[in-house]
Amino acid sequence: MTSLENKNSTVSVVLVGVGGQGILLASTVLAEAAMESGYDVKTNEIHGMAQRGGSVISQIRYGQKVYSPLVPKGTATVLMSLERTEGIRYYDYLAPDGLAVISDQKIVPITATLGQTPYPDIDKTELQKYFPRLVYLSAVEKAAELGNPKAANIILLGALSTRLDIKQNTWESAIKKCVKPAFVDLNLKAFELGCQSGN
């Protein structure tokens, strides 16, 4: 586990995926957990036109004092992608020793169906070439086993949490705060499952 060694530095996390996959919830839980841990926090999310099935990015930064809400390139401690290929699009954000947490879910964009741009055929072995530190998960499958494939976002969040120095009970309290009561148990289980995969 890499923690915030220098209290003066800022930890940056980048979450990516496709509009509608639940990036915003994962980002909110992370930001709440960081704030509860006593850090200054800033986040940035995409709204409006880009949400309509487009590629989306959410950025979270925390530390003693955070200035820019936008993550500088090459500095993210973790890059999490809810879609198999989207992590590659945002590769430049990840720090050289950063961790990539990637779901194996494929969402083929219409541009690929039309043959305008190829949808890259990549698997875990291929992704490891670009992301030496990789957690690769069948998050949707695992979430479906828990009862709802939509909880894939929180499974991945659990996996990335192993790289951040935020306490387990803080994560749990943030989940309880951000998720509708009916889905708390599901999401706590999803988070726990993710933690195990991350370790």
Q: Given the rule CB under 8 A, which residues bind other proteins?
A: 18-19, 28, 31-32, 35, 40-55, 66-70, 72-74, 85-86, 88-89, 91-92, 96, 108-114, 116-120, 122, 126, 129-130, 144, 148-150
> Which two structure tokens, joined as six digits, stand for 137?
């998960």
Dist. CA 164–CA 97, nearest whole Å = 14
CA 6 to chain centre: 23
- Asked if 32 contacts 39 with a C-beta cutoff of 8 angstroms, the reply is no
The least distance separating other proteins from the CB of residue 64, rounded to whole angstroms, comes to 12
The least distance separating other proteins from the CB of residue 126, rounded to whole angstroms, comes to 8
The least distance separating other proteins from the CB of residue 199, rounded to whole angstroms, comes to 26
Q: Which residue is associated with the tokens 């949400």?
A: 51
Which distant-in-sequence residues (6+ apart) come within 8 Å of 81 by Cβ?
15, 16, 17, 87, 90, 100, 101, 102, 103
Question: Cβ closer to other proteins: 30 or 101?
Answer: 30
Question: Cβ closer to other proteins: 30 or 159?
Answer: 30
The least distance separating other proteins from the CB of residue 115, rounded to whole angstroms, comes to 9
Question: Cβ closer to other proteins: 154 or 195?
Answer: 154
